[in-house]
Amino acid sequence: MLVTEFGAYQPRTFALKVARSRVKVAGPYSQAVSLPYNVSVASSDKQQSCGAFDAAGDSLPAEMLPADLSYSGIQFKLAPSGQCAPNAVAARGQEIALPARPLNRIYILAAADGDQNGTFRVGDRTIDLRIDDWGGFIGQWDTRIWQQRSEAVPARPGAPVQPPGMTPRMRTSMVYSGLSPAFIKRAPVAWFASHHHTVEGVNVPYRYSYLFAYSIDVPANAKTITLPNNDKIRILAITASDDDQRFSSAEPLYDMFERGDR
């Protein structure tokens, strides 16, 4: 318990050191699922034309992708990138075997060329997921939209009449034309990079790249996962886990931007 007093407009700073826990909790067991890679989605600075994530030919920066990625205690194992070899799965309804060891949850590391809907099947259960776009904004406040308007400047009273064919003086102003509403994407970001590569090999700064983590409960005795039939969904890793100590917040920890939320 911390007891203190504050005077008028008086700030105070407290440094707290948390003691070591006497109880050690083991993390969840996780096992990588073997994937049939069929597309390259990353390129390096030396071999820019080796991968394409979207239809425009843009790709993830291979120099930023790790071989192993930790997310919430779960380990994703990624295929080597930047070697002109497939390192992702374009989903076309493939059936993928799950580990023989009984596990109750799978985590999917994925993104898509544009927000895409896909139906996964695990055992005899189907799950509909929206796989988010690999770039762009994942959240934004309300944004005012402005349009440029040009109009001729009226002549002053008594001013000489302009000769025929003479271009009138113009003035430009910005006019408010509406509001682009705030939004936030809900999928957890498992990895991001500060840029991406174009098909010409240009590093584009501040055009972020994302990979998201999606989780699915595994029914008892499920042996396989069947991917959606939507090849705009790109999966870089799948991990199976015995993650039976899951926790969730009672309320969202961020603005939902729904009616009544603001």
Domain for residue 260, yes or no? no
Domain for residue 72, yes or no? yes
pLDDT digits (tens, 9 = 90+) for 123-175: 989 999 999 999 999 988 898 999 999 888 887 887 777 778 777 888 898 99
Residues 6+ apart with CB under 8 A from 44: 50, 61, 62, 63, 81, 82
- Residue of 44 and 108 predicted with greater confidence: 108
Domain for residue 254, yes or no? no
**Are 147 and 213 contained in the same domain?**
no
**Are 220 and 208 contained in the same domain?**
yes
Domain for residue 75, yes or no? yes
**Are 180 and 209 contained in the same domain?**
no
**Are 216 and 173 contained in the same domain?**
no
Cβ atoms 119, 233 nearer than 8 A: no
**Are 86 and 177 contained in the same domain?**
no
Domain for residue 163, yes or no? no
pLDDT digits (tens, 9 = 90+) for 16-53: 888 888 888 777 888 999 999 999 999 988 776 788 99
- Average per-residue pLDDT in the chain? 89
Q: In this structure, what CATH number is given to the domain that contains residue 214?
A: 2.60.120
Q: Give the Cβ contact number of residue 195 at 10 Å.
A: 16
Domain for residue 2, yes or no? no
Give residue 199's pLDDT: 87
Domain for residue 60, yes or no? yes
**Are 179 and 192 contained in the same domain?**
no
**Are 107 and 48 contained in the same domain?**
yes
- pTM recorded for the entire structure: 0.80
DSSP 198-260: -TT--EEEEEEEEEEEEEEEPPTT--EEE--EEEEEEEEEEEEE--------SS-SS----TT
Domain residue limits at 180: 139-155+168-184
What is the domain count for the chain? 2
**Are 146 and 121 contained in the same domain?**
no
**Are 70 and 180 contained in the same domain?**
no
**Are 48 and 110 contained in the same domain?**
yes
